[in-house]
Amino acid sequence: MSHFTPGAATLGGLLLGIASSLLFVANGRILGISGIVGQIPLTTGSDRSWRLVFLLGLLTGGLVLLGFDRSMLAFASEQTVPTAVAAGVLVGVGTRLGNGCTSGHGLCGIARLSRRSIVATLVFMATGALTVFVVRHVLHLGGGVS
Amino acid sequence: MKRLVVAYVCGLLFAVGLGISGMTHPSKVMAFLDVTGDWDPSLALVMGSGVLVNFVFFRMATRRGAPFLAPSFSLPAKTAVDASLVGGAALFGVGWGLGGFCPGPAIVSVVTGATPVVAFVVAMLLAMGVYDLMEARAASRRLLPVPGGR
């Protein structure tokens, strides 16, 4: 547990909660990144524009972080390009097929006590942990060195 | 207009929250998933505190009956746990463990211009697009009359 950062984790988590609560309380929308961004090509009119503006907000936030402290973003490449592409394809297909990711299912769905979201979160946590176990402790490929 | 301002602010706050929590670092996410190694429980606190805030405010909003700036809440129609939910979540988890990125932190980190990050996001968006195209095709095929008529 050498890298445990409880203060920053709690503060950041509260902010994630505030952002997703605000979107729900004001606009009635679930803050699920894969759904919001993934459905941009499938929507039109005002249903598309709020998604684009949200995406713009995410990127602005990225620039704010970059300007404030570069080390807040994964600037140094923490993975190889082939791994990143394989991971990206799996995340893309998986989140469309499973209707959500860590934000929509994890942060919002669990708070709504949605059975689907609770099951989804348990499943992706389990297969995520299993993948890291196989990569690091079976294949000894030791990815993710920062 | 107000709704767009809220959407923008939410995106911005969410990105900053991800940065502060450390979730924009794949190594930190992988350290959480590495339960048999040098385990870092930070992600559990990130999720726990986020869920706690949402639990309180989502309940208050639902009790109020409607959101402030929209006529009704937009909630997922599906309620049953089915094979595509479990299969999709399983695939997502494998990708998450492999790259240490879920969609939010990856998109936020695109501003660094780092090649693996951009590669991840482009691959993810293309995969989503191809999936949706295939879905749309399958749906239109289901609507066509079956030859020989059943």
The pLDDT value given to residue A104:
96
Interface contact A15, partner B, CB < 8 A: yes
At residue B150 the predicted structure's pLDDT band, cuts being 50, 70 and 90, is very low
Q: What span, in angstroms and rounded, lies between the C-alpha atoms of B40 and B100? A: 13
Contact at 8 Å (CB) between A117 and A110? yes
Q: What is the ipTM of this complex?
A: 0.94
Contacts of A86 in chain B (CB under 8 A): 95, 98-99, 123
Give the best residue of A58, A118, A137, A146 to mutate against chain B (max B CB count within 10 A).
A58
At residue A2 the predicted structure's pLDDT band, cuts being 50, 70 and 90, is low
Q: Do A59 and B93 touch (CB under 8 A)?
A: no
Contacts of B69 in chain A (CB under 8 A): 26-28
The pLDDT value given to residue A79:
81
Q: Do B67 and A26 touch (CB under 8 A)?
A: yes
**Shortest Cα–Cα distance, A51 to chain B (Å):** 8
At residue B140 the predicted structure's pLDDT band, cuts being 50, 70 and 90, is confident
The pLDDT value given to residue B118:
95
Q: Is the pLDDT of residue A3 over 70?
A: yes
Q: What span, in angstroms and rounded, lies between the C-alpha atoms of A8 and A12? A: 6
The structure tokens listed for B132 are: 């949706």
Q: A41-86: per-residue pLDDT in tens?
A: 999 999 999 999 999 999 999 999 999 988 888 765 568 899 999 9
Percent of chain B with pLDDT over 90: 87
The rounded mean pLDDT for chain B is 93
Q: Judge residue B44's burial from the number of C-beta atoms within 10 Å of its C-beta, 0-12 exposed, 13-18 middle, 19 or more buried.
A: middle
The pLDDT value given to residue A69:
86
The rounded mean pLDDT for chain A is 92
Q: Judge residue B41's burial from the number of C-beta atoms within 10 Å of its C-beta, 0-12 exposed, 13-18 middle, 19 or more buried.
A: middle
The pLDDT value given to residue B142:
79
Q: Is the dihedral of CA A96, A111, A48, A34 positive or negative?
A: negative
Q: In terms of CA atoms, which chain A residue is nearest residue B78?
A: A116
**Shortest Cα–Cα distance, A98 to chain B (Å):** 4
**Shortest Cα–Cα distance, B147 to chain A (Å):** 29
Report the pLDDT averaged over residues A93-101.
96
Contact at 8 Å (CB) between B76 and A34? no
At residue B28 the predicted structure's pLDDT band, cuts being 50, 70 and 90, is very high
Q: Is the pLDDT of residue B82 over 90?
A: yes
At residue B145 the predicted structure's pLDDT band, cuts being 50, 70 and 90, is low
Give the best residue of A11, A37, A51, A79 to mutate against chain B (max B CB count within 10 A).
A79
